[in-house]
Amino acid sequence: MAVTENEALAAINADYEQRYGFRDAENYLYKAPKGLNREIVEKISEFKSEPQWMREFRLKALDHFLSRPQPTWGSPLLAEVDYDDIHYFVRASEKPGRSWDDVPADVKKTFDRLGIPEAERKFLSGVGAQYESEVVYHQVREDLEKQGVIFKDMDSGLREHEDIVREYFATVIPPNDNKLAALNSAVWSGGSFVYVPEGVHVEMPLQAYFRINTENMGQFERTLIIAEPGSYVHYVEGCTAPTYSSSSLHSAVVELIAKPGARIRYTTVQNWSTNVFNLVTKRAVAQEDATVEWVDCNLGSRLTMKYPSVYLLGERAHGEILSIAFAGKGQHQDAGGKIIHAAPNTTSNIFAKSISKDGGRGSYRGLLEIAKGAHGARSKVVCDALLLDEHSRSDTYPTIRIGEDDVNVGHEATVSKVGEDQLFYLMSHGIPEDEASKLIVNGFIEPITKELPMEYAVEMNRLIELQMEGSIG
Amino acid sequence: MPEIIDVCPIEELPPGERRLVEWEDLEIGVFNCGGNLYAIEDRCSHDDGPLAEGEFDEENCTVECPRHGSLFDLTTGKPKTLPAYVPVDTFAVIIEDQTIKLEVE
């Protein structure tokens, strides 16, 4: 074939610089010096006028962070993270505004360019927009507020609903869970606090948008979602940053609690620039008859290590993890998921798809655990990898632990390569080569993109197309 | 058949203190929460690492696993936070002749 596959496929996020890579001038109210110590942690707590227990929680977490070694598993790129070269707190605005007019002009311009207010008008129940360390805009529809739905930035959540926060905060992911969770617990700022009362269905998604602007910035949002019995909520998050030559760090902690019969769906479209280390801990609890679904799409970042998990603690609980990872030049997407069946008759699915091109590395890392006593549990794990050229890489690291006899577990893994014969077949039907490649990739991820809300599915397909085009000729 | 083993004289384990004892291949942590005594197996149900040497909160009667942070209720052995989700074994504490004893089997 005249054009090699490598030539036919484009650079990752071909127009990232133009669409998301812009940067604003820094007119900050406060920017912490680089590095992390007790003084910075105390300063963050002081800025936020937090209760004493949260200040102590942060300081204890800092000790955990400092005493734990950097993990050595996952990716050799982890060794590049320099914790001393990061700004741990940057304040852009006095407090989150409920009107776009309250948002500082340059920050507003950023979110206008990203299309956030427009999206809110069209199809969302509520929006939070985080710029650097803190949320600068927050709004939830009035009718939901009247039903008792709380959707706040986490700082306001702590101030205004301290009792609820204290009861649930860090019960799903304790600060000493791992080094990055400890770091987040010490310096967390922003993120979302969502509380859905019993029986309330939030029909349209709540959305949060996370934006890093500063070079060498660390963003450490903290999200806690509590769905009371029989309730439903869908939370969607998106993330972008300018492209810098030096690294930024994004390390979130996300905790979900689905009470009996509740359902939480959490969708992420992560499109960080390729200088961002994305090291995130996401974990959910599903009680009796509850359902938790993670829809996790990773396109950007230098390195992503993220394995959303669901602990099925109540009988008949259901967990679902749908994961797409796209690893381009210089990227490592180490993604996957974990499901723990801790009660009888629980069910779960993990569907993971990874695409690697231009030397990128996609890994699936997963855990399926069925505890003793979880009889009647059923689970299916499917992980598929698509390699678009000779020098890209795909790895699968599945772990399955089964402590019960009466269970049904399936595991399937495939690795395929876009072959010349597939391209030739489509081209013989008059489809140009670049279109043929896009068709193959879109067909590969379609089972997951169809689960996204329509607007996000369109955006996801557009992003994938962008990644596929540009280098022909 | 349960067996009774000695831990220590009662005055050697005042409120806020803990002690580790071994019996056959079991290691057990004994805690004094404000005058009430509780005993749990010294093994976190999450990854089988040692548990009883973790941070002891006498007021709330909990111990935190030093490895991954699960918080255990010493009165029941149940985890109050993930990543552990299975209770650890507890043992009955007996005081006889001014001595703390455990019922093990």
Q: What does the pLDDT look like over A158-175, one tens digit per residue?
A: 999 999 999 999 999 999
Look up residue B79 and give its DSSP letter: B
Look up residue B42 and give its DSSP letter: S
CATH number at residue B56: 2.102.10.10
CA distance A135 to A129: 6
Task: Determine phi and psi for A19, rounding to 5 degrees.
Answer: -85, -45
CB atoms within 10 A of CB A424: 12
CB atoms within 10 A of CB A200: 18
- Structure tokens belonging to residue A223: 């999200």
Query: Exposure pattern of A349-361 as b/e (b: 16+ CB <10 Å)?
Result: bbbbbbbbbbbbb
Collect all residues of chain A within an 8 Å Cβ-Cβ radius of residue B82: 171-174, 177, 283, 285, 311
Are B82 and A311 within 8 A, CB to CB? yes
Are A176 and B71 within 8 A, CB to CB? no
Are A176 and B64 within 8 A, CB to CB? yes
State whether residue B83 sits within 8 Å of chain A by CB.
yes
CB A210 within 8 A of CB A218: no
Are B68 and A175 within 8 A, CB to CB? no
Look up residue B74 and give its DSSP letter: T
State whether residue A371 sits within 8 Å of chain B by CB.
yes
Residue B85 pLDDT class (50, 70, 90 cuts): very high
Are B82 and A342 within 8 A, CB to CB? no
SS3 percent helix, strand, coil of chain B, rounded to 5, is 5, 50, 50
Three-class secondary structure assignment of chain A? CCCCHHHHCCCCCCCHHHHCCCCCCCCCCEECCECCCHHHHHHHHHHCCCCHHHHHHHHHHHHHHHHCCCCCCCCHHHHHCCHHHCECCEECCCCCECCHHHCCHHHHHHHHHHCHHHHHHHHCCEEEEEECCEEEEEEECHHHHHCCCEEEEHHHHHHHCHHHHHHHCCCCCCCCCCHHHHHHHHHCCCCEEEEECCCCECCCCEEEEEECCCCCEEECCEEEEEECCCCEEEEEEEEECCCCCCCEEECCEEEEEECCCCEEEEEEEECCCCCEEEECEEEEEECCCCEEEEEEEECCCCEEEECCEEEECCCCCEEEEEEEEEECCCCEEEEEEEEEECCCCCEEEEEEEEEECCCCEEEEEEEEEECCCCCCCEEEEEEEEEECCCCCEEEEEEEEEECCCCCEEEEEEEEEECCHHHHHHHHCCCCCHHHHHHHHHHHHHHHHHCCCCHHHHHHHHHHHHHHHCCCCC
**Block means of pLDDT (10 residues each) for chain A, length 473 residues?**
42 69 80 94 96 98 97 94 95 78 80 76 80 85 92 96 98 98 97 97 91 90 98 92 86 98 95 93 98 95 97 98 94 97 98 94 96 97 91 94 96 85 89 85 87 79 67 28
Task: Determine phi and psi for A278, rounding to 5 degrees.
Answer: -115, 95
Task: Please give the mean pLDDT across all residues of chain A.
Answer: 89
Report pLDDT digits (tens) over A176-216. 999 999 999 999 999 999 999 999 999 889 989 888 888 89
Residue among A64, A170, A177 whose CB faces B83 most closely? A177
CA distances from B45 to A85, B33, B70, B71 (A): 38, 22, 10, 11
Residue A213 forms part of a structural domain = yes
Residue A97 forms part of a structural domain = yes
| Cross-strand pairs, A235 | A206, A266
Whether the complex's predicted ipTM surpasses the cut of 0.90:
yes
Task: Determine phi and psi for B62, rounding to 5 degrees.
Answer: -130, 160
Residue among A174, A285, A342 whose CB faces B69 most closely? A174
Are B81 and A285 within 8 A, CB to CB? no
What's the pLDDT at A1? 39
Residues with Cβ within 8 Å of residue A215, at least 6 apart in sequence: A244, A246, A248
Residue A473 forms part of a structural domain = no
Total domains, chain A: 1
Are B68 and A176 within 8 A, CB to CB? yes
Rg value, chain B, Cα: 13
Q: How far is B97 from chain A (nearest CA, A)?
A: 40
A vs B: CB pairs below 8 A: 39
- Structure tokens belonging to residue A163: 């009792």
Report pLDDT digits (tens) over A42-70. 999 999 999 999 999 999 999 999 999 99
- Structure tokens belonging to residue A293: 């679904």
Residue A150 forms part of a structural domain = yes
Residue tagged 């390729």 (tokens): A274
Task: Determine phi and psi for A238, rounding to 5 degrees.
Answer: -135, 155
What's the pLDDT at A238? 87
State whether residue A315 sits within 8 Å of chain B by CB.
no
CA distance B14 to A465: 68
Total domains, chain B: 1
Closest CA to A195 of A154, A236, A159: A154
| Domain interval for residue A376 | 5-468
- Structure tokens belonging to residue B86: 């299975």
What's the pLDDT at A18? 77
End-to-end CA distance of chain A: 14
Q: What percent of chain A has pLDDT over 70?
A: 95
Look up residue B5 and give its DSSP letter: E
Residue A413 forms part of a structural domain = yes
Collect all residues of chain A within an 8 Å Cβ-Cβ radius of residue B67: 176
CB A386 within 8 A of CB A326: no
What's the pLDDT at B24? 92
Collect all residues of chain B within an 8 Å Cβ-Cβ radius of residue A172: 81-82
State whether residue B85 sits within 8 Å of chain A by CB.
yes
CB atoms within 10 A of CB A161: 15
Residues with Cβ within 8 Å of residue A63, at least 6 apart in sequence: none
3-state class of B11 per DSSP? Answer: helix
The model's pTM: 0.92
Residue A51 forms part of a structural domain = yes
Q: Which of residues 387-446 of A touch B (CB under 8 A)?
A: none
What's the pLDDT at A181? 98
